[in-house]
Amino acid sequence: MKPCEARAAQAQPALEAYAALLARWNERINLVSPRDLPRLWERHIEDSAQLVPLIPPGTRRIADLGSGAGLPGLVLALLTGLETHLVERDQRKAAFLREAARVMAAPATVHAADAATLPSLAADLVTARALAPLPVLLPLAARHLAPGGICLFPKGAGVEAELTAARPAWTMRVERLPSRTDPAATILRLTEVARA
């Protein structure tokens, strides 16, 4: 068994506890679409977990912007054991993230703050899932990205339009990776992110 497979097997009970907690909290605050709850594992947990093999060796710190329900940040923290910072400005969602990190024993720090005003986290990896289109997301990501760091952004069918809209203001090396959980989705791996 590979180390990442062993970690995933050990993480299963924590992920199950997370899924149950998310379902309970989702009754009070909108963490995920109620129609997604029956497909929570495939639609959200596995979709987040597919980023693990894309994390470069030597990564020490992850910043997940607009963490919401903790996807992908909490899943990555648990599956990798890396120091993970979850940034969420909605106080109710931040409270959920704190409780979920505690229940999962995940190495995650929750920042109940706006990513635009939070001091830089100097992360080796910045993630965000369904937070904003690239022209809005890139200034936030660049603020929290360490020199030489990368961004991993799961994106939907409109990814090419987002890239086109971002290019006048940003330079970056772009790698499009297919999603293993949604044939219409793409994972953007961005390096050398800088203002044009």
- Which phi and psi angles does 172 have, rounded to 5°? -170, 155
CA distances from 32 to 17, 40, 45, 85 (A): 16, 9, 12, 20
The verdict on whether residue 129 carries a ligand-binding annotation is: yes
The number of residues in the chain equals: 196
CA separation for the pair 155, 75 (Å, rounded):
18
The verdict on whether residue 89 carries a ligand-binding annotation is: no
The verdict on whether residue 121 carries a ligand-binding annotation is: no
β-pair partners for 129: none
Binding residues for S-adenosyl-L-methionine: 66, 71, 129
Binding residues: 66, 71, 129
